[in-house]
Structures are given as structure tokens and as C-alpha cells.
Amino acid sequence: MGKRILAQRKGRGSIFEAKTHKCIAPSRLPDIFEPTTATVVEIMHNPGRGTPLAKFVTEDGQVFYLHAVEGLYVGKKIRLYEVDEPSPGDIMKLKDIPPGTLISHVERTPGDGGKFARASGTYAQVIGPSADGIEVRLPSGKMTILNPECRAVIGVIAGGGRVEKPFLKAGKKYHWMKAKAGKRWPHVRGVAMNPVDHPHGGGRHQHLGYPETVPKNAPPGAKVGSFGARRTGRRKR
């Protein structure tokens, strides 16, 4: 009889569900828009997240969490808005950040909590004001124009070089992938399976034998390979 292929089983949930019960808290800029200060009370590891998580407490007792930046430590005080000399961890509006400053946790629209430069070791850079807003270089190298009222955190996200350390053995990779949200590991190639297990399976050797492009509106059972690809890398001689 065979069984449903991986693409179909992913829609059912079970082992592919996110392990949200392990998460400590969401990381986003606080809904505080008045000048104040906050203190770093703890820096912790959040399962499923590759960046250290810093816990802040404001003067009036409000608690919020952000990705830790390089230079943060327990007991350090950060400032929200009205900052004369920016230091790592300070939260400022883009219009008040000097050009050339490295920033992270950048908002796409004012008040959304931060969307850009959140991965470990990443950062954006303020280029300067333009006619339509503030020009910012994103981690990808792309230039974008953002609202001057958007907020950002001063500094580079901590945890840089995380992907450079090898896993060394399959067991370490297995447990790391198990903590990720809905990831399946190890990955088995479709051509290595039997015909009942995958549309690419079967044959006298591990070779597909026909184009792997499928339409974008293909059903889950057939949507394997290159989805609506204009080209696959194969050229006619």
C-alpha cells in the first residue's frame, strides 16, 4: 500500500509542529514610546533560536525580551530614545541614529517590533537621510528606504560565527534539528526511495529519468522538485 509522501504528511502536523512550549518569550521591541532606561537582568538561551535572548526590566517594572547584541552584559543599563552617544543595546529611532552606525532589530513599519537583522551575527547599517526617509543597508546588502520613526537597536546581534562550528557527529545534528520548529532530519533524497514512497523513486539506479519541474498549482502528492521553474540548469547543446 505504501504511505503518504513527506510533502503530504507535512500538512498534517504531529512531528512537524513547532516546539513552541520550549520558547521563553517573543523577541520584539517594547510598546514604550517615552524616554526611559532599562536594565539587563538575564541573558539566556532560547531553544530553537540561534541567538542569545536578553531580558530587560524598565524603571517602572515593565519586562521585555530582545536578541542580545555584542557588548551587553547582566547589569548594563540601556536607554530608550533621547540618547546623546549611542552604545550597544540602546533603542533609538532611525532619524536620531548617526549615519554609519551598525544597528539590528530594525522595524519595517513604526511599532511592528523589529523585522530586519535578527539572526546571529547580523546587522544593518544606517546610510543617511534621503528624500523619502532614512536609507538603510540590510544584512543582504540591499538598500532600502524606511520611515524615520522606525526604531532599531544599536549594535551587532551576538552569536556571530555560530554556523562555522562543525557538528562533528550525526547525534549532535539530530538533537539540534529536533529542537528546531518542525524540521525533519535526516533528509532522504527522493531518487533514493521506492516508487511507492516518492514520485522520484524507483528505476535501475538513482536517476530521475524525466524533468523534475512541476506546475505551481500541483497537488501536494506531485509537488516535488522544481516548482514552476523557468529553467533547471540543463541547456541544449
- Yes or no: say if 51 and 43 are a contact pair by the CB < 8 Å rule: no
Q: Are 232 and 213 in contact (CB under 8 A)?
A: yes
- One digit per residue, pLDDT tens: the chain, 237 residues? 667 887 777 777 777 777 778 889 999 999 988 999 999 999 999 887 889 999 999 998 999 999 999 999 999 999 999 888 899 999 999 999 999 999 999 999 999 999 999 999 999 999 999 989 999 999 999 999 999 999 999 999 999 998 899 999 999 998 888 777 667 788 899 999 988 888 899 999 999 988 889 999 988 778 888 888 887 766 665
The 3-state DSSP class for residue 174 equals: helix
pLDDT at position 30? 92
Residue 2: predicted pLDDT: 65
pTM recorded for the entire structure? 0.78
- Distance, in Å, from the CA atom of 229 to the CA atom of 212, rounded to the nearest integer, reads 9
pLDDT of 236 reads 61
pLDDT the model gives residue 231: 77
The reported pLDDT for the residue numbered 25 is 92
- Which helix (H) or strand (E) element contains residue 179? helix 170-179
pLDDT at 18: 73
Q: Look at the block and give the residue holding cell 501536494.
A: 220
In this predicted structure, what is the pLDDT of residue 237?
Answer: 58
d(CA 226, CA 230): 9
Q: Which three cell numbers stand for residue 228?
A: 514552476
Using a CB cutoff of 8 Å and minimum separation of 24, what contacts does 45-50 make? 47/19, 47/22, 47/23, 47/179, 48/18, 48/19, 48/22, 48/23, 48/179, 48/180, 48/181, 49/23, 50/119, 50/120, 50/159, 50/162
At residue 195, the pLDDT reads 87
Kindly provide the residue ranges of all beta strands, DSSP E only, lying in the chain, ordered along the sequence.
36-44, 53-58, 63-67, 77-80, 91-93, 102-104, 124-129, 134-137, 143-146, 151-154, 213-214, 226-227
**Pair 62, 29: CB distance under 8 Å:** no
- Residue 178: predicted pLDDT: 79
